[in-house]
Amino acid sequence: MHTGRWVRAAGASREPVIVLDRGRPTARLLSLEDTGGTAFSSRRKVAGCFGELSPEVYLRAADALHLMCAKLAGLEEIFTNDRHRLAASGFVGLRGRNLLAEAAPRD
């Protein structure tokens, strides 16, 4: 993974860093200056959502980061086929949708 390099490049540049998935643009990283100085993370909000998480919910650090970024950006739902992220999405008030499962033909 080159996430750290992308984040540093976005912070140092006035140009957005475009993140690709299989050759298709999926995200744009902007420096804080480009967002008006608004940070999209908050320790209190993260602690409030995940601090009392049930031990039965398996949540990886990257999943928590994705979920909190979506929540703090004002999104209401996320799209993923990751079962752990889907299971944890409700704890931050997001509706998790698995488009692969929704598109699968029903017998």
Residues 47 and 81 in one domain: yes
User: 99 CB contacts (<8 Å, ≥6 apart)?
Assistant: 79, 81
Residues 19 and 44 in one domain: no
Residues 35 and 46 in one domain: no
Name the amino acid, one letter, at 102: E
Count of residues in the chain: 107
| pLDDT tens by residue, 40-82 | 445 556 556 666 677 777 888 888 888 888 887 888 999 999 9
What would the two tokens of residue 18 be?
A: 């475009």
Domain tally, the chain: 2
Q: What is the mean pLDDT of the chain?
A: 75
What's this model's pTM, rounded to 2 decimal places?
Answer: 0.52
